Amino acid sequence: MNILTKVAVALPALALLSACATTAPTTPNKTPASENVTDAAYDRMAPAPYTCTDGSTIRAKQSINKKQVMLDATLPKVNWANQPIILNGGVQGDTASYVNESNPEVVYAWHMKGDKGIFAMKWANGKEYQVNCQI
């Protein structure tokens, strides 16, 4: 096979590969509770597992600079199963407080002190949910 024939055979394959490379797949945002991007660094330690009073579970992991926390929440009363959520805030003394207000319908808050945590939700219509948790 001469060089011209090889180029003619390879050209459509190269065109197909370059077209695929320019259209990256996107994942739909199925998590309205999460903020989409985090620029905070997290260590490799496992998140702290909290067990809550109503049978809920929350795994919490603070960023290294303590300005953000990632939660993985299973809250049966609000139909959440392994719901990821990122909250912003910080530490004051021995208490850490974080809030996520990215959803106009509901505000999320997470507070930690020692081995205890409180997760709260407040909807725009005034309805509230709160659960006390402990490691």
- Flag whether 111 is in a domain: yes
pLDDT at 38: 57
Which residue range is the domain that position 56 belongs to?
Answer: 48-134
pTM of the model: 0.67
> Cα(first)–Cα(last) distance of the chain, in Å?
70
- Flag whether 130 is in a domain: yes
- Flag whether 21 is in a domain: no
pLDDT at 40: 67
* pLDDT tens digits for range 22-77: 333 333 333 444 444 555 666 667 788 999 999 999 999 998 888 999 999 999 99
